[in-house]
Amino acid sequence: MAEILVAMSGGVDSSVAAAMLVADGHDVTGVTLKLWGGESDSGCCSVSDVEDARRVAQQLGIDHHVFNFGDDFDKHVIAPYVEAYDEGRTPNPCIECNRHIKFDKLLRRADALGFDLIATGHHARIVTDADGFLRVSRGADSAKDQSYVLHMLDQRQLRRLMLPVGDITKERVRELAHELGLRTATKPDSQDVCFIHSDGGRRKFLGDRIPLSPAVIVNRAGQQLGSTDAVQLVTIGQRKGLGLAGNDDRNYVVDIDRRNGVVTVGPESETFDPHTELVDVAWSGTSVDGLLHIQCSAHGSRATGRLEGSRVVWDEPHRRVASGQSVVFYVGDEVVGGATAA
Protein backbone atom coordinates (compact mmCIF):
# COMPACT_ATOMS: atom_id res chain seq x y z
CA MET A 1 0.00 0.00 0.00
CA ALA A 2 1.15 3.53 -0.81
CA GLU A 3 1.54 6.71 1.21
CA ILE A 4 -0.81 9.17 -0.51
CA LEU A 5 -1.29 12.90 -0.03
CA VAL A 6 -4.88 13.78 -0.95
CA ALA A 7 -5.79 17.34 -1.92
CA MET A 8 -9.01 17.97 0.02
CA SER A 9 -10.83 21.13 -1.05
CA GLY A 10 -13.63 20.73 1.45
CA GLY A 11 -15.97 19.46 -1.27
CA VAL A 12 -17.69 16.11 -1.64
CA ASP A 13 -15.53 14.76 -4.49
CA SER A 14 -12.19 15.08 -2.71
CA SER A 15 -13.79 13.86 0.54
CA VAL A 16 -14.94 10.66 -1.14
CA ALA A 17 -11.61 10.29 -2.98
CA ALA A 18 -9.86 10.25 0.39
CA ALA A 19 -12.42 7.82 1.81
CA MET A 20 -11.98 5.41 -1.11
CA LEU A 21 -8.21 5.37 -0.66
CA VAL A 22 -8.56 4.75 3.07
CA ALA A 23 -10.95 1.87 2.32
CA ASP A 24 -8.37 0.39 -0.05
CA GLY A 25 -5.86 0.28 2.79
CA HIS A 26 -3.55 3.12 1.77
CA ASP A 27 -1.75 5.36 4.25
CA VAL A 28 -3.65 8.57 3.54
CA THR A 29 -3.00 12.14 4.62
CA GLY A 30 -5.28 15.02 3.69
CA VAL A 31 -4.12 18.50 2.74
CA THR A 32 -6.08 21.64 1.99
CA LEU A 33 -4.43 24.32 -0.11
CA LYS A 34 -4.92 27.87 1.04
CA LEU A 35 -4.62 29.81 -2.18
CA TRP A 36 -6.81 32.88 -2.23
CA GLY A 37 -6.71 35.32 0.67
CA GLY A 38 -9.54 37.56 -0.52
CA GLU A 39 -13.30 37.16 -0.29
CA SER A 40 -14.73 33.91 -1.66
CA ASP A 41 -18.28 32.61 -1.82
CA SER A 42 -17.73 29.96 -4.46
CA GLY A 43 -17.37 26.88 -2.28
CA CYS A 44 -13.58 26.82 -2.07
CA CYS A 45 -10.73 28.87 -0.62
CA SER A 46 -12.76 29.91 2.42
CA VAL A 47 -12.29 29.28 6.13
CA SER A 48 -15.37 27.06 6.15
CA ASP A 49 -13.93 24.86 3.41
CA VAL A 50 -10.75 24.31 5.38
CA GLU A 51 -12.90 23.35 8.36
CA ASP A 52 -15.03 20.98 6.25
CA ALA A 53 -11.90 19.24 4.96
CA ARG A 54 -10.44 19.01 8.46
CA ARG A 55 -13.64 17.53 9.87
CA VAL A 56 -13.90 14.97 7.05
CA ALA A 57 -10.29 13.93 7.68
CA GLN A 58 -11.18 13.54 11.34
CA GLN A 59 -14.16 11.36 10.39
CA LEU A 60 -11.88 9.20 8.24
CA GLY A 61 -9.21 8.96 10.94
CA ILE A 62 -6.46 10.53 8.85
CA ASP A 63 -4.09 13.43 9.45
CA HIS A 64 -4.90 16.77 7.85
CA HIS A 65 -2.65 19.71 6.99
CA VAL A 66 -3.05 23.13 5.41
CA PHE A 67 -0.44 24.36 2.93
CA ASN A 68 -0.41 28.09 2.21
CA PHE A 69 0.49 28.56 -1.45
CA GLY A 70 -1.01 32.05 -1.66
CA ASP A 71 2.10 33.73 -3.05
CA ASP A 72 2.40 31.13 -5.81
CA PHE A 73 -1.30 31.48 -6.59
CA ASP A 74 -0.96 35.25 -6.90
CA LYS A 75 2.05 34.86 -9.19
CA HIS A 76 0.90 32.03 -11.43
CA VAL A 77 -2.90 32.44 -11.48
CA ILE A 78 -4.11 35.88 -10.37
CA ALA A 79 -1.47 38.02 -12.10
CA PRO A 80 -1.72 36.19 -15.48
CA TYR A 81 -5.53 36.30 -15.26
CA VAL A 82 -5.55 40.07 -14.88
CA GLU A 83 -2.84 40.53 -17.50
CA ALA A 84 -4.74 38.38 -20.00
CA TYR A 85 -7.92 40.46 -19.75
CA ASP A 86 -5.89 43.65 -19.95
CA GLU A 87 -4.35 42.41 -23.21
CA GLY A 88 -7.61 41.18 -24.74
CA ARG A 89 -7.33 37.46 -24.03
CA THR A 90 -9.75 35.19 -22.16
CA PRO A 91 -7.78 33.08 -19.65
CA ASN A 92 -8.40 29.66 -18.07
CA PRO A 93 -7.46 30.25 -14.41
CA CYS A 94 -8.41 26.75 -13.24
CA ILE A 95 -6.05 25.24 -15.80
CA GLU A 96 -3.22 27.50 -14.66
CA CYS A 97 -3.93 26.59 -11.03
CA ASN A 98 -3.68 22.91 -11.95
CA ARG A 99 -0.56 23.49 -14.01
CA HIS A 100 1.41 25.51 -11.47
CA ILE A 101 -0.09 24.75 -8.07
CA LYS A 102 -1.88 21.42 -7.69
CA PHE A 103 0.31 19.36 -9.98
CA ASP A 104 3.60 21.21 -9.62
CA LYS A 105 3.95 22.96 -6.28
CA LEU A 106 1.90 20.34 -4.40
CA LEU A 107 3.64 17.44 -6.08
CA ARG A 108 7.06 18.86 -5.21
CA ARG A 109 5.93 19.35 -1.61
CA ALA A 110 4.70 15.75 -1.55
CA ASP A 111 8.11 14.60 -2.81
CA ALA A 112 9.87 16.56 -0.07
CA LEU A 113 7.64 14.98 2.57
CA GLY A 114 8.20 11.45 1.28
CA PHE A 115 4.76 10.64 -0.16
CA ASP A 116 4.53 8.07 -2.94
CA LEU A 117 1.56 9.62 -4.72
CA ILE A 118 -0.90 12.48 -4.68
CA ALA A 119 -4.63 12.23 -5.32
CA THR A 120 -7.45 14.65 -6.14
CA GLY A 121 -11.21 14.50 -6.55
CA HIS A 122 -11.25 15.31 -10.26
CA HIS A 123 -13.74 13.44 -12.44
CA ALA A 124 -11.26 12.00 -14.92
CA ARG A 125 -9.29 8.80 -15.38
CA ILE A 126 -5.70 7.83 -16.11
CA VAL A 127 -5.27 5.13 -18.74
CA THR A 128 -2.39 3.54 -20.64
CA ASP A 129 -2.57 3.66 -24.42
CA ALA A 130 -1.33 1.06 -26.90
CA ASP A 131 2.13 2.68 -27.01
CA GLY A 132 2.52 2.58 -23.23
CA PHE A 133 1.89 6.30 -22.70
CA LEU A 134 -0.25 7.38 -19.78
CA ARG A 135 -3.19 9.52 -20.83
CA VAL A 136 -5.85 11.53 -19.09
CA SER A 137 -9.23 10.12 -20.13
CA ARG A 138 -12.78 11.32 -19.67
CA GLY A 139 -14.41 10.38 -16.39
CA ALA A 140 -17.25 7.88 -16.05
CA ASP A 141 -19.74 10.72 -15.53
CA SER A 142 -19.72 12.61 -18.82
CA ALA A 143 -21.72 15.48 -17.30
CA LYS A 144 -19.01 16.08 -14.68
CA ASP A 145 -15.95 15.22 -16.78
CA GLN A 146 -12.89 17.34 -15.92
CA SER A 147 -10.32 15.91 -18.33
CA TYR A 148 -10.22 19.26 -20.15
CA VAL A 149 -8.67 21.04 -17.15
CA LEU A 150 -6.08 18.25 -16.70
CA HIS A 151 -4.90 18.09 -20.30
CA MET A 152 -1.48 19.59 -19.51
CA LEU A 153 -0.32 16.78 -17.19
CA ASP A 154 2.86 15.07 -18.36
CA GLN A 155 4.07 11.50 -17.95
CA ARG A 156 5.95 12.22 -14.73
CA GLN A 157 2.90 13.81 -13.13
CA LEU A 158 0.52 11.11 -14.31
CA ARG A 159 2.72 8.38 -12.82
CA ARG A 160 2.38 10.07 -9.42
CA LEU A 161 -1.35 10.79 -9.53
CA MET A 162 -4.51 8.94 -8.51
CA LEU A 163 -8.04 10.04 -9.44
CA PRO A 164 -10.27 7.76 -7.33
CA VAL A 165 -13.69 9.17 -8.26
CA GLY A 166 -13.02 9.17 -12.02
CA ASP A 167 -14.53 5.69 -12.37
CA ILE A 168 -17.85 6.53 -10.70
CA THR A 169 -20.67 8.98 -11.29
CA LYS A 170 -21.33 12.09 -9.25
CA GLU A 171 -24.53 10.46 -8.04
CA ARG A 172 -22.51 7.55 -6.68
CA VAL A 173 -20.04 9.97 -5.07
CA ARG A 174 -22.87 11.54 -3.09
CA GLU A 175 -24.31 8.12 -2.21
CA LEU A 176 -20.96 7.05 -0.78
CA ALA A 177 -20.66 10.30 1.15
CA HIS A 178 -24.11 9.72 2.67
CA GLU A 179 -23.28 6.11 3.50
CA LEU A 180 -20.14 7.25 5.31
CA GLY A 181 -21.91 10.12 7.03
CA LEU A 182 -19.49 12.70 5.62
CA ARG A 183 -20.40 16.30 6.39
CA THR A 184 -19.81 17.27 2.74
CA ALA A 185 -22.40 14.82 1.35
CA THR A 186 -24.91 17.53 0.41
CA LYS A 187 -22.47 20.38 -0.14
CA PRO A 188 -23.05 22.16 -3.49
CA ASP A 189 -20.39 22.02 -6.18
CA SER A 190 -18.03 24.99 -6.23
CA GLN A 191 -17.91 27.53 -9.03
CA ASP A 192 -15.03 27.35 -11.50
CA VAL A 193 -13.32 30.60 -10.48
CA CYS A 194 -12.74 30.64 -6.73
CA PHE A 195 -11.54 34.24 -6.50
CA ILE A 196 -14.48 35.89 -8.29
CA HIS A 197 -17.03 36.95 -5.66
CA SER A 198 -20.70 37.03 -6.66
CA ASP A 199 -20.94 40.58 -5.29
CA GLY A 200 -19.45 42.57 -8.14
CA GLY A 201 -18.17 39.61 -10.11
CA ARG A 202 -15.48 39.86 -12.74
CA ARG A 203 -16.08 43.58 -13.27
CA LYS A 204 -15.22 44.48 -9.69
CA PHE A 205 -12.30 42.04 -9.51
CA LEU A 206 -10.64 43.43 -12.63
CA GLY A 207 -11.70 47.01 -11.97
CA ASP A 208 -9.88 46.92 -8.64
CA ARG A 209 -6.66 45.92 -10.44
CA ILE A 210 -6.62 47.56 -13.87
CA PRO A 211 -8.31 50.59 -15.43
CA LEU A 212 -11.37 49.51 -17.43
CA SER A 213 -11.60 51.25 -20.80
CA PRO A 214 -14.71 52.42 -22.69
CA ALA A 215 -15.48 51.44 -26.27
CA VAL A 216 -18.12 52.14 -28.88
CA ILE A 217 -20.17 49.28 -30.35
CA VAL A 218 -20.61 49.44 -34.13
CA ASN A 219 -21.93 47.24 -36.92
CA ARG A 220 -19.99 46.26 -40.02
CA ALA A 221 -21.08 49.47 -41.74
CA GLY A 222 -19.50 51.48 -38.94
CA GLN A 223 -22.82 52.67 -37.56
CA GLN A 224 -22.66 53.16 -33.79
CA LEU A 225 -25.23 51.03 -31.99
CA GLY A 226 -24.15 51.56 -28.40
CA SER A 227 -21.20 51.64 -26.07
CA THR A 228 -19.55 49.83 -23.19
CA ASP A 229 -17.61 51.25 -20.28
CA ALA A 230 -15.39 48.17 -19.98
CA VAL A 231 -14.07 46.73 -23.22
CA GLN A 232 -11.95 44.28 -21.19
CA LEU A 233 -15.16 42.48 -20.20
CA VAL A 234 -16.36 41.94 -23.78
CA THR A 235 -15.58 38.61 -25.45
CA ILE A 236 -15.75 37.29 -28.99
CA GLY A 237 -19.11 35.66 -29.67
CA GLN A 238 -20.85 37.49 -26.83
CA ARG A 239 -24.54 38.14 -27.44
CA LYS A 240 -26.08 39.17 -24.12
CA GLY A 241 -25.23 42.15 -21.95
CA LEU A 242 -24.29 44.53 -24.77
CA GLY A 243 -27.10 46.97 -23.99
CA LEU A 244 -28.20 47.33 -27.61
CA ALA A 245 -31.84 48.21 -26.95
CA GLY A 246 -33.38 44.87 -27.75
CA ASN A 247 -31.06 44.04 -30.66
CA ASP A 248 -28.87 41.63 -28.67
CA ASP A 249 -30.54 38.60 -30.22
CA ARG A 250 -29.36 39.66 -33.68
CA ASN A 251 -25.92 40.94 -32.77
CA TYR A 252 -22.86 38.96 -31.73
CA VAL A 253 -19.42 40.36 -31.00
CA VAL A 254 -17.31 39.53 -34.06
CA ASP A 255 -14.29 41.79 -33.51
CA ILE A 256 -12.72 43.70 -30.62
CA ASP A 257 -10.25 46.53 -31.21
CA ARG A 258 -9.21 47.36 -27.66
CA ARG A 259 -6.49 49.81 -28.70
CA ASN A 260 -8.95 52.06 -30.52
CA GLY A 261 -11.94 51.27 -28.32
CA VAL A 262 -14.19 49.69 -30.94
CA VAL A 263 -16.35 46.59 -30.62
CA THR A 264 -17.87 45.31 -33.86
CA VAL A 265 -21.04 43.23 -33.87
CA GLY A 266 -22.60 41.19 -36.62
CA PRO A 267 -24.87 38.24 -37.38
CA GLU A 268 -24.29 34.83 -35.81
CA SER A 269 -22.90 33.50 -39.10
CA GLU A 270 -19.85 35.75 -38.64
CA THR A 271 -18.94 34.07 -35.35
CA PHE A 272 -17.92 30.86 -37.14
CA ASP A 273 -14.47 30.18 -38.61
CA PRO A 274 -13.13 27.37 -40.81
CA HIS A 275 -9.96 27.17 -38.72
CA THR A 276 -8.45 28.32 -35.41
CA GLU A 277 -4.88 29.53 -35.00
CA LEU A 278 -2.97 28.02 -32.06
CA VAL A 279 0.11 28.62 -29.94
CA ASP A 280 1.96 26.35 -27.53
CA VAL A 281 0.88 23.07 -29.13
CA ALA A 282 1.95 20.15 -26.92
CA TRP A 283 1.31 16.41 -27.04
CA SER A 284 0.92 14.17 -24.00
CA GLY A 285 2.87 11.42 -25.79
CA THR A 286 3.63 11.06 -29.48
CA SER A 287 1.90 13.45 -31.87
CA VAL A 288 -1.30 12.26 -33.52
CA ASP A 289 -2.19 12.69 -37.18
CA GLY A 290 -5.68 12.59 -38.64
CA LEU A 291 -9.09 13.38 -37.24
CA LEU A 292 -9.27 14.59 -33.64
CA HIS A 293 -12.12 15.28 -31.28
CA ILE A 294 -11.53 18.79 -29.95
CA GLN A 295 -12.91 20.64 -26.94
CA CYS A 296 -12.49 24.38 -26.44
CA SER A 297 -13.98 25.03 -23.00
CA ALA A 298 -14.50 23.10 -19.78
CA HIS A 299 -18.20 22.52 -20.47
CA GLY A 300 -18.25 23.27 -24.17
CA SER A 301 -19.44 21.22 -27.09
CA ARG A 302 -17.05 18.89 -28.85
CA ALA A 303 -16.13 19.22 -32.50
CA THR A 304 -13.87 17.42 -34.95
CA GLY A 305 -10.94 18.70 -36.94
CA ARG A 306 -7.37 18.13 -38.03
CA LEU A 307 -4.21 19.81 -36.85
CA GLU A 308 -2.28 21.37 -39.73
CA GLY A 309 0.86 23.03 -38.43
CA SER A 310 -0.22 25.52 -35.78
CA ARG A 311 -3.91 25.61 -36.65
CA VAL A 312 -6.97 23.44 -36.30
CA VAL A 313 -8.88 23.02 -39.54
CA TRP A 314 -12.46 22.22 -38.56
CA ASP A 315 -14.58 19.64 -40.35
CA GLU A 316 -17.36 22.22 -40.24
CA PRO A 317 -17.08 25.92 -39.41
CA HIS A 318 -16.70 26.26 -35.65
CA ARG A 319 -17.71 29.00 -33.25
CA ARG A 320 -14.74 31.34 -32.94
CA VAL A 321 -12.52 30.47 -29.98
CA ALA A 322 -11.51 33.40 -27.77
CA SER A 323 -7.79 34.10 -27.62
CA GLY A 324 -6.29 32.51 -24.50
CA GLN A 325 -8.70 29.59 -24.27
CA SER A 326 -7.31 26.06 -24.11
CA VAL A 327 -7.97 23.83 -27.12
CA VAL A 328 -7.74 20.18 -26.10
CA PHE A 329 -7.27 17.23 -28.47
CA TYR A 330 -8.89 13.83 -27.90
CA VAL A 331 -8.82 10.45 -29.60
CA GLY A 332 -11.98 8.83 -28.35
CA ASP A 333 -12.08 9.62 -24.64
CA GLU A 334 -8.32 10.06 -24.26
CA VAL A 335 -6.52 13.40 -24.12
CA VAL A 336 -3.64 13.32 -26.58
CA GLY A 337 -2.59 16.96 -26.51
CA GLY A 338 -3.59 20.57 -26.25
CA ALA A 339 -2.81 24.14 -27.19
CA THR A 340 -3.98 27.71 -26.67
CA ALA A 341 -6.08 29.73 -29.10
CA ALA A 342 -3.97 32.55 -30.55
Q: Are 164 and 137 in contact (CB under 8 A)?
A: no
Q: Which residues contact 124 (CB under 8 A, 6 or more apart)?
A: 136, 137, 138, 139, 145, 146, 147, 150, 163, 166
Indicate if 45 belongs to the active site: no
List b or e across 229-265, with b for residues whose CB sees 16 or more CB atoms inside 10 angstroms: ebbbbbbbebeeebebeeebeebbbbebeeeeebbbb
Whole-number Å distance between alpha carbons of 207 and 253:
22
Q: Kindly give the pairing relationship between strand 311-319 and strand 291-295.
A: unpaired
Which one-letter DSSP state was computed for residue 28?
E
**Which residue is catalytic, options 44, 94, 97, 296?**
97
Indicate if 194 belongs to the active site: yes
**Which residue is catalytic, options 44, 45, 94, 194?**
194
Residues assigned a catalytic role: 97, 194
